[in-house]
A = this chain, B = another copy of it.
Amino acid sequence: MPGADGEIAAIETIRRALPTPPAGEVWIGDDAAVVAVPQDGRLLLAADAIVEGVHFDFELVDAADVGWKALVVNVSDIAAMGGQPLQALVTVVGASSSMIDGLARGLAEAGAAYGCAIVGGDLSAGPCLVVSVAITGSSAPRDPVLRANARPGDRLFVTGPLGRSAAGLRGLRSQGSGQGAVPDDLAAAYRRPVARLAEGRAASASGASAMIDVSDGLGIDLDRLATASGVGVVLDAVPVAQGATAEDALGGGEDYELVFAASDVDAVMGSFAAAGLRPPILIGACVENPTTRRLGDEQLAAAGWEHRLG
């Protein structure tokens, strides 16, 4: 661990990698940060930790990738509410001095990419690297899109083909054991996942009734949405990304595409087109029977990898 002087130096490193707070706000350096909050009086709050040896492995990613991913998985939670991220707090446990620069760079890059200010946090010793991020966001001017309001008859959409992250991870592992190069886009899907922020806003604007991000795998995440809403789901097909397998697409997880339900297909397509986004893929529909989980003629398993390296 850095120790008192090391901790101060590390905090300075992180502070230098970040922009300056606007007038009236206080970020890193006091007991708490002071920030402005949404005018609609509602705030979104989420937190996710990523853990060395469970969610990532330094054979396959570097510290900047870890910083990026730790923030992006949280931005994705805000995206899944149809929201916009505002601020993040980051606690880092078990970082060596040599990791701090990379972590700060990855966090700052993700913060800049998604318009999310890193306003505070904590550094501590520990036996392995744990990066825990808490994030705030706003869905204004619209209501947040919950998991629980899908209705029978709603159509189901996903914002992109699935399985790229799982295929990237498999490729990186094979490469590590000497078996050929992994395509850059698959490696990037695993190392630098993208949060579908604009897509979440577009889905919300088009009247999406329920939404979730595909973090643990389509099977398990869609089961969560259906269970929360008390509906069944029938999928026609699952879009498999180039280079991925059907199993990657269904159970691989960490794609961070959004799955959502909406009643008006034209409104959805219009909203995505108006935002200049790739059209979402229609994959199925919600049905009355709350126990139905079907993919074509097969049972859709609520399977997913809770922890990819666990």
Q: Which residues of A contact B (CB under 8 A)?
A: 1, 3-4, 7, 26, 29-39, 41-51, 53-55, 76-78, 80-81, 83, 87, 89-91, 93-94, 119-122, 124-128, 130, 132, 134-137, 139, 144, 146-148, 211-213, 216, 220, 228, 304, 306-307, 310
Contacts and interface: CB of A to CB of B under 8 A. Distances in A.
Nearest to A74: B32
Contact of A37 (B4, B42, B139): B42
Contacts of A147: 29-31
Given A31-B78, A49-B124, A89-B134, 7 more contacts: A1-B54, A32-B45, A32-B77, A34-B45, A37-B38, A45-B120, A93-B130
A78 B30 CA distance: 10
B43 A124 contact: no
7 contacts: A4-B306, A45-B120, A47-B90, A49-B93, A51-B124, A125-B310, A134-B134
A38 B134 CA distance: 19
Nearest to A85: B32
Kindly report how many copies of this chain are found in the complex they form together: 2
A49 B87 CA distance: 18
Given A4-B306, A307-B1, A310-B125, A33 B44 contact: yes
Contacts of A31: 46, 76-78, 80-81, 147, 211-213
B33 A45 contact: yes
A37 B47 contact: no
Which of A38, A122, A126 has the most C-beta atoms of chain B within 10 angstroms of its own C-beta? A126
Contact of A47 (B34, B120, B220, B306): B120
A93 to B, nearest CB: 5
A247 to B, nearest CB: 17
Contacts of A1: 54, 307, 310
A47 B122 contact: yes
Contacts of A81: 30-32, 34
Contacts of A134: 47, 89, 91, 134
A124 to B, nearest CB: 5
Nearest to A55: B124
Contacts of A48: 91, 122
Contact of A228 (B29, B32, B80): B29
Contact of A146 (B30, B43, B139): B30
Contacts of A3: 306, 310
A33 to B, nearest CB: 5
A26 B148 CA distance: 11
